[in-house]
Amino acid sequence: MSELDPSILTLVTFAPAAGALLLMFAPRRDREIRVFALLVSLFTFVLSLHLPAHFHRNQTGFQFERDIPWIPTPNIHYHMGMDGISLWLVVLTTFLTPLCVLISWKSIHDRVKEFFILLLVLEAALIGVFVSLDLFLFYFFWESTLIPMALLIGMFGHGRKVYAAIKFFLYTMIASVFMLAGILWLYANTSPHTFDFVKIQAAIHSGTVPGFAAAAQWLFLGFFVAFAVKVPLFPFHTWLPDAHVEAPTAGSVLLAGVLLKMGTYGLLRFNLGLFPDQARANASWIVVLALIGIVYGALVAMVQPNMKKLIAYSSISHLGFVVLGIFSFTQAGLNGAMFIMLAHGVSTGGLFMLAGILYERRHTYEISEFGGLATPMPVYSTFFLFVMLASVGLPLLNGFIGEFLVLTGAFQAKPWWGVVAATGVIWSACYLLWMYQRVFFGVVKHEENNSLPDLNLRERVALWPAMIMALAMGVVPMLWLNSIDPAVRNALAKMVGQ
Amino acid sequence: MPALMMAALRTMPNLIPNSDYIRILPEIVLSVFGMIIMVLDPVMDERRSQRTLGVIALLGALAALAATLYQAKEQFWGLGFWGMVRVDPFSIFFHVVVIAVTIVVILSSYEYMEVQKIRAGEYYGLILFGAVGMALMSSAVELVLIFIALEISSIATYVLAGFRRRAATSSEASVKYFLLGSFATAFFLYGVAMMFGATGSTSIATIGASLGLFNGSGGPLLAYLGVALMFVGLGFKVAAAPFHIWTPDVYEGAPSPVVGFMSTAPKAAVFAVLLRIMFQAHAPGRVWLMWVAAALSMSIGNIAALVQDNVKRLLAYSSIAHAGYVLVAFASLPANGIPAAMFYTASYAAMNVGAFAVIGHFAGRDERFVTLEDYSGLGRRSPLLASVLTIFLLSLIGIPITGGFFAKFYVFSAAMQGPHPLVGLTVIGVVNSAIAAYYYLRIIVFMYMREPRDDAPVPRVGPGLGIALTISLAATIYLGVAPKCVLDYITRAATFLH
């Protein structure tokens, strides 16, 4: 036990928020603001390293807990804590944010202060989502992520940014009110009334919630809709391509890297944790949706003329794997799902950064505008190749481990799930390699592409961590799986124990 | 004259105890200052009277606040004036809300009147007189006195609505509000008569004692009629559907600070009356009456607001919807519903009076800038004003860290309590609050994501408005972050009603 343990989650969550608050009163000197935002996000990252360093791998239950009453009626607690499931998602968030700051250094030159305030607020809210153990607190942070994200898209995006921002906002907001209704039902029917996740889970498992049997299916669906839209699971995915294409690079990185994981995290934590019987009963159609998402996302990605839209649809496909893994209810499947969440965050985050770098130079994402870029930008194309292969799932890189585990789990559960999902791996190789070929190989088709500058130092500094992480996760996955595995085992044991 | 008063008069002691005067001290203070203004107005120089009288009004409101705090001592709790008024934490709470709103409105009117070149000292007098009626409504426990208080406050607001003399819409607002309002109060009076017929009393405590025997269902038909008719009158005042038709026209025409005033303070006071009638008097048929009114108000208000292009009309419909949210609490169990309604009223007052203060400032001479188009690019032209308005709008949506979020949460969680949770109404409510996000967001979108139509500088915010906005902003954030103190007080206050 370190002295920092009880308050570390609070510190990590609110460090970026405090930074944003200070920025609000800062004078509009863009350079200093950028440096300050970078320092704050780096500081948060360093703080968050305390978590894996002091995490007890084999201890079940929540760690670094802090539970203090916040509001007496309704009985709301400030209850934070983390287990192996949320541990790495928090670190992923704090890892990606400094990269986002770096990648936005030059591309954001108007309203710089607002941009970095929003970015830091978003980081705080995202961390809060993963560490909240009080359903009210969770909902609080969940909704808090909406505004900064929508504003980032709407204020700093391009093209039909307003449409995309509003669509994003309304989709997720409407879906999450059903979760709110579910949360309120749970609160009202526990005695004593509580929003505490651990207590509610215990009450449900011991069967002391009156009327639960009748309401459980509706509750499950209420939570499910909120999370499925966020993931996004087919057919709730239509907001995602719009939001991604119009968002600024940093917005896309956090959107794909972390925001979508809020949905899969929610499915794992709440849908499986609170309603295991309903999760089993509904698994068959949810898996079908996930499989459709895998194949459909990949096929649509293949025909996209827009680089960013292609990456966006590839996210739908990858997140389909995560949902498949979760609803396979196997140790391997869940481990794989968790691992893909992290790997996808790193590699897709990297892809969006690379696409953004190209956009800064040419102000377009159209694949047909490029071709033969390997000649003027050799370093860039090497970086791109590396990150892309990580995303494709090349062995020894991070994408492979997760997909392999999920497929193993799927085969254990129902072989045909595995067969269909496995085609997704092939599709992803097709669309990414084809895009790579069209953008980088051949001769330079457009004159202006000849003079594109290669990566500069700042861009390399932003990309290296993602690449190192992709490699490390592929070579020594056990560093991550060590702490994921017991948490998943624990979650599964509760489901079997029914 | 009602029997109770007659009986009281017959046994009237020669002296009214001094403590009785303390029980109406805030009303006395407000009336005295109001009369001072009325007397000074004609004798002062017309060009300078506005400033001086405004300061006097502010002093009056502050003195009334001090009187309320003095009155809050436990030794003064209890009935006064032969059981017609009652001081308890419940009445103190609404006094504070009404007087705080009055202070904010006076502060924000100061500049508004200069810009509109309205030289009329009686404006401030009328605001104080209106506040007298509203304050009295919250402490009156006798239906005839409630009626008188209602009329005092109404007549002041009828006149205030017509204060933009040069604008036809303002006169229309005044006449419309007056005609329909008088009609509505007549209904209320009729309801009082029915109630007297059913129970033989106009004292809420006595009515409650006789109707309480029926436990909310059954009971004399006259009592049902009485409740329904009284609700027609009171529902009109809080702009609850189906008695809301006047709202958009009146809000559009009336001066913005006045709209801020009459959409919050009289509503709070009337909700106090409704709480007494519905809960303390054990009104029969309460749940279903409130259920229908709440569902209608929320749905009509939100759907109609979706298509508004005038910001004042938009907020008028939003105000109807918010009345609906409060009525959800009225359909809930007393122990949860009363505090929820009280909290909602207070946080709605904070955010709405603030929003209208910004709108009034931005509207400019003759309120020219009130359409959504006019708000284009406000985020660039006046970042501070735009960000303040954004926070109020986010609170109206119900986004975390603001009072609006917590208020909604509290109302819906109240509705889910008890053996018969209002699941249907809650679902209607949460879906509505998601729909509502769209039209509030439209304003934010125009402010931040549209290019300014013209670069006419937004006038500087003067000290009065600055203080007014600071107060309402602080209250909105405070209620959203640390509502514990207020909730504790409200929960205790609610016990005085049931």
The reply to whether residue A144 touches residue B430, judged by beta carbons under 8 angstroms, is no
Would residue B48 be called left, alpha or beta, if left means φ above 0 and alpha means ψ between -120 and 50 degrees?
Answer: alpha
User: Which residue of chain A is at minimal alpha-carbon distance from B407?
Assistant: A74
Q: How far is B353 from chain A (nearest CA, A)?
A: 23
Domain positions in chain B:
18-494
Amino acid at B336: N
Residues 6+ apart with CB under 8 A from A238: A167, A171
Residues 6+ apart with CB under 8 A from B149: B133, B134, B136, B137, B140, B269
Residues 6+ apart with CB under 8 A from A447: none
What is the per-residue pLDDT for B7? 61
Q: How far is A229 from chain B (nearest CA, A)?
A: 14
What is the per-residue pLDDT for A416? 92
The reply to whether residue B423 touches residue A185, judged by beta carbons under 8 angstroms, is yes
Higher-confidence position of B119 and A18: A18
Beta strand A76-82 with A63-71 is antiparallel
Q: Is A422 on the interface with B (CB under 8 A)?
A: no
What is the per-residue pLDDT for B4? 63
Residues of A in contact with B445 (CB under 8 A): 154, 162, 165-166
Per-residue pLDDT band for B226 (boundaries 50, 70, 90) equals very high
Residues of B in contact with A177 (CB under 8 A): 430-431, 433-434
Residue B402 has pLDDT above 70, yes or no: yes
Token pair 């920092």: residue: A4
Interface of B with A in 187-206 (CB under 8 A): none
Higher-confidence position of B49 and B471: B471
B333-350 pLDDT, tens per residue?
A: 988 899 999 999 999 999
Looking at the DSSP bridge assignments, the partners of residue B79 are B86
Residues of B in contact with A173 (CB under 8 A): 434, 437
Residues of B in contact with A170 (CB under 8 A): 434, 437-438
Residues of chain A below pLDDT 70:
1, 496-498
What is the rounded distance in angstroms from the CA atom of residue B206 to the CA atom of residue B30?
A: 30
Interface of A with B in 148-187 (CB under 8 A): 150-151, 154-155, 161-162, 165-166, 169-170, 173-174, 177-178, 180-181, 184-185, 187
What does the block give as tokens for A490? 């624990």
The reply to whether residue A70 touches residue B488, judged by beta carbons under 8 angstroms, is no
Residue whose C-alpha is closest to residue B112's, from B313, B372, B362, B373:
B362
Mutation target vs A (from B393, B420, B445; most A CBs, 10 A cutoff): B445
Per-residue pLDDT band for B228 (boundaries 50, 70, 90) equals very high
Per-residue pLDDT band for B445 (boundaries 50, 70, 90) equals confident
Q: Is B410 on the interface with A (CB under 8 A)?
A: yes
The reply to whether residue B413 touches residue A181, judged by beta carbons under 8 angstroms, is no
Smallest Cβ–Cβ distance between B449 and the set A72, A162, A185 belongs to A162
Instruction: Average the pLDDT over B205-227 and give the result.
Output: 83
Mutation target vs B (from A177, A178, A218, A229; most B CBs, 10 A cutoff): A177
Per-residue pLDDT band for B13 (boundaries 50, 70, 90) equals low
What is the rounded distance in angstroms from the CA atom of residue B313 to the CA atom of residue A178?
A: 29
User: Which residue of chain B is at minimal alpha-carbon distance from A180?
Assistant: B430
CB B101 within 8 A of CB B265: yes
Sign of CA dihedral A418, A422, A428, A431: negative
Per-residue pLDDT band for B282 (boundaries 50, 70, 90) equals confident
Q: Is B7 on the interface with A (CB under 8 A)?
A: no
What is the rounded distance in angstroms from the CA atom of residue B77 to the CA atom of residue B100?
A: 21
Residues of B in contact with A144 (CB under 8 A): 399-401
Smallest Cβ–Cβ distance between A74 and the set B413, B415, B430 belongs to B413
User: Which residue of chain A is at minimal alpha-carbon distance from B442?
Assistant: A166
Interface of A with B in 333-392 (CB under 8 A): none
Query: B63-91: buried (b, 16+ CB within 10 Å) or exposed (e) per residue?
Result: bbbebbeebbeeebbebbbbbbbbbbbbb
Largest CA distance in chain A: 72
What is the rounded distance in angstroms from the CA atom of residue A336 to the CA atom of residue A404?
A: 7
Smallest Cβ–Cβ distance between B448 and the set A139, A154, A177 belongs to A154
Instruction: Average the pLDDT over B377-382 and give the result.
Output: 84
Q: Is B489 on the interface with A (CB under 8 A)?
A: no
What is the rounded distance in angstroms from the CA atom of residue A156 to the CA atom of residue A148?
A: 11
Residue whose C-alpha is closest to residue B331's, from B419, B217, B422:
B422
What is the per-residue pLDDT for A498? 43
Cis status, amide bond into B255, omega within 30 of 0: no
Q: How far is A144 from chain B (nearest CA, A)?
A: 6
Q: How far is B394 from chain A (nearest CA, A)?
A: 9
What is the rounded distance in angstroms from the CA atom of residue A58 to the CA atom of residue A491?
A: 13
CB A467 within 8 A of CB A383: yes
User: Which residue of chain A is at minimal alpha-carbon distance from B425?
Assistant: A181
Mutation target vs A (from B430, B443, B473; most A CBs, 10 A cutoff): B430
Tally helices (H) and strands (E) across chain A.
21, 2
User: Which residue of chain B is at minimal alpha-carbon distance from A155?
Assistant: B449
- The answer to ipTM > 0.95 is no
Q: Is B413 on the interface with A (CB under 8 A)?
A: yes
The reply to whether residue A165 touches residue B434, judged by beta carbons under 8 angstroms, is no
Residues of A in contact with B448 (CB under 8 A): 151, 154-155
Mean pLDDT of chain B: 89
Q: How far is A157 from chain B (nearest CA, A)?
A: 10
Of the listed ranges B9-23, B321-335, B370-384, B456-470, the one predicted with least confidence:
B9-23
Instruction: Average the pLDDT over B296-321 and give the result.
Output: 93
Q: Is B209 on the interface with A (CB under 8 A)?
A: no
CB A129 within 8 A of CB A50: no
| DSSP H helices in B200-285 | 204-211, 221-237, 247-253, 256-262, 265-275
The reply to whether residue A165 touches residue B449, judged by beta carbons under 8 angstroms, is yes
Our measurement of the distance from residue B326's CA atom to the centroid of its chain's CA atoms, rounded to an integer in Å, reads 11
Mutation target vs A (from B375, B402, B439, B449; most A CBs, 10 A cutoff): B449
Residue B438 has pLDDT above 90, yes or no: no
The reply to whether residue A136 touches residue B427, judged by beta carbons under 8 angstroms, is no
Per-residue pLDDT band for B9 (boundaries 50, 70, 90) equals low
Q: How far is B449 from chain A (nearest CA, A)?
A: 5
Smallest Cβ–Cβ distance between A147 and the set B394, B410, B433 belongs to B394
What is the rounded distance in angstroms from the CA atom of residue A318 to the CA atom of residue A342?
A: 11
Considering the entire predicted model, what is its pTM?
A: 0.84
What is the rounded distance in angstroms from the CA atom of residue A115 to the CA atom of residue A371?
A: 32
